Amino acid sequence: QNQKTKEQIESLLQNGNHKELRDRLCCRLSFGTAGLRSAMGAGFCYINDLTVIQSTQGIYKYLERCFPDFKQRGFVVGYDTRGQVTSNCSSKKLAKLTAAVLLAKDVPVHFFSTYVPTPFVPYAVRQLKAVAGVMITASHNRKEDNGYKVYWENGAQITSPHDKEIIKCIEECVEPWKDSWNENLVDTSPLRQDPLQKICDCYMEDLKKICYHRELNEQTNLKFVHTSFHGVGHDYVQSAFKAFGFQPPIPVPEQKDPDPDFSTVKCPNPEEGESVLELSLRLAEKENAKVVVATDPDADRLAVAEQQEDGCWKVFTGNELAALFGWWMFSCWKENCSEDADVKNVYMLATTVSSKILRAIAHKEGFHFEETLPGFKWIGSRVKDLLDNGKEVLFAFEESIGFMCGTSVLDKDGVSAAVVIAEMATYLESKNLTLAQKLIEIYEMYGYHISKTSYFLCYDPSTIKRIFEKLRNFDAPQSYPKFCGIYNILHVRDITTGYDSSQPNEKSVLPVSKSSQMITFTFQNGCVATLRTSGTEPKIKYYAEMCALPEQSDRSVLEEELQKLIEALIENFLEPDKNGLIWRSA
């Protein structure tokens, strides 16, 4: 019933563009590391009115099977500010259709009356004891994309087997039901409630549990600049700073309000560093603010930059921020815990492609550290298990600037991370330290962890498959490489096949993930490197880290060794020229 997407298909048909019709109509969306995500437009593998209705009908069928009390407990729906005129597709419209499918089946729906940060949906699912929730967002992806993120009753994103079962249910009911198209149900149904005020209030109240230096925050002269990258973050970050006793951060005026075209940045991903933070850094210099915090468009991730003594800006990597957060959350726990608190009951988590710095801190301080597969859905589920077993989880992260401080939200949260980093900077300033100086102290105490993450673009799935199959059959069939250039490989772990040469039975401890490619190499020189495909974009990513002991403190030697190893990895294993890979633009 969407004329714009209908016209797209009719026009392809009239122009005889059969290949594109096949591409759009002969495959369905599937759940990646962040739910369903694709370009907006016509076709079954795109995000549009119809695929959102079909997905929600499948979810309804599955939830009805799983929860006898589904119609008492209800469902949460949130959305960001994305939109595309050419396909008459916006996050809010897709959210209304999601709600319509459920309201027409007499399911109570907690539908936010305005855009919210992604973490508000998992938070609301747990607060309101709903059976599940959906957030319509494509986070930091390009403006053409949108997505459909599903959270389970535990407040974590769905993992296997739920995702596979939902896909089966979607395929069983692809024909839209009678009232599924009725987006006005949100405005007329008595079963629709607006949780906005309640969730905002509760969230800000819960946030205060991880505020440890309110007096310092109230008195500090330190100024902060915040950019919300044309997304949802502005109002919520302002409120979070207020909850911690701070003056509000200075917003970047050009990027404060929602803009689905992300018109001031070449891509809306704060992870891209200084090139996309240009406006906020210039404003900070003008306002004499030393720290910039940037939330991505759906405010679930956080980038941080700090002005150094020479006037230059240091943009921290996700792994460096995690070292700071890990140190901070543990120090605050230690200072505030009861006398009988047991450090062995304390946990921190990270995805397996992220820095091992938390492992080093845990080893020295006596708490537990665990790794999960890439994607916060694995962290969220594992944290919930630990909490249910009486454990205390302080912090979790993934290197792509996703942080979870405390356990109010079992997903990454840029709003809470922004205000925690502000408090940390304020505390450090009272000790005459900067974030960058503290980071060096952490590395000197627990060992340098120098990491580099980047990617190549590859739009041809068969090329990606060929690259990874070659690694599995390197010198001979079913044999992985023993060397990478001059570097000796100690162990290989292949999450796609479940192989791990470091285990006595050669089976991976982490669960097998057949739908994505991921191989990790551990080298004799202490470096760990992973090659994997992205769960949300056409990328081959590489992650490499030198993990040194505290006594190996010559950073420049470690950096040089890491750089040479990465060059060997690219040249021998990825072969970009031969495979037509596009280098990440500097």
Contact between 401 and 59 under an 8 Å Cβ cutoff? The reply is: no
Q: Average pLDDT of the chain?
A: 96
**How many Å apart are CA 524 and CA 263, to the nearest integer?**
47
pLDDT in tens, 386-435: 999 999 999 999 999 999 999 999 999 999 999 999 999 999 999 999 99
pLDDT at 45: 94
Name the strand (E) or helix (H) holding 76. Answer: strand 75-79
pLDDT at 34: 72
pLDDT at 334: 97
Contact between 412 and 321 under an 8 Å Cβ cutoff? The reply is: no
Q: Residues with catalytic annotation?
A: 139
Evaluate if residue 204 carries a pLDDT over 60.
yes
Q: Is 122 helix (H, G, I), strand (E, B) or coil?
A: helix
pLDDT in tens, 370-388: 999 999 999 999 999 999 9
The answer for residues whose C-beta is within 8 angstroms of residue 214's C-beta and 6 or more apart is 244, 245
Of the pLDDT bands very low, low, confident and very high (cuts 50, 70, 90), residue 586 is very low
**How many Å apart are CA 130 and CA 107, to the nearest integer?**
11
* Ramachandran area for residue 526 (φ above 0: left; ψ -120 to 50: alpha; else beta): left
Evaluate if residue 95 carries a pLDDT over 70.
yes
* Angle at 475 (CA atoms; ends 469, 479), nearest 5 degrees: 60
Burial class (CB in 10 A: 0-12, 13-18, 19+), 338: exposed
CA-wise closest residue to 30 among 45, 17, 18, 41 = 45
In the chain, the amino acid numbered 70 is F
Interval 203-223 mean pLDDT:
98
* Angle at 403 (CA atoms; ends 298, 313), nearest 5 degrees: 85
pLDDT in tens, 102-151: 999 999 999 999 999 999 999 999 999 999 999 999 999 999 999 999 99
Of the pLDDT bands very low, low, confident and very high (cuts 50, 70, 90), residue 585 is low
CA-wise closest residue to 225 among 279, 272, 276, 261 = 279
- pTM across the whole model: 0.94
Interval 251-272 mean pLDDT:
96
> What structural domains and CATH numbers belong to the chain?
3-199 (3.40.120.10), 210-426 (3.40.120.10), 448-583 (3.30.310.50)
* Angle at 100 (CA atoms; ends 99, 105), nearest 5 degrees: 100
Start-end of H helices in 15-78? 18-25, 49-66, 70-73
Instruction: Verify cis geometry, omega within 30 degrees of 0, for the bond prior to 504.
Output: no
**How many Å apart are CA 264 and CA 75, to the nearest integer?**
35
pLDDT in tens, 457-502: 999 999 999 999 999 999 999 999 999 999 999 999 999 999 999 9
Cα–Cα separations (whole angstroms), residue 533 to 385, 454, 536, 574: 28, 12, 9, 12
Contact between 63 and 18 under an 8 Å Cβ cutoff? The reply is: no
Residue with tokens 């008459």, as numbered in its chain: 88
pLDDT at 514: 87
Bridge partners for 500 per DSSP: 493
Evaluate if residue 252 carries a pLDDT over 70.
yes
pLDDT in tens, 524-581: 998 999 999 987 788 999 999 999 988 887 889 999 999 999 999 999 999 999 999 9
pLDDT cut 70: percent of the chain above it: 99
Interval 447-462 mean pLDDT:
94
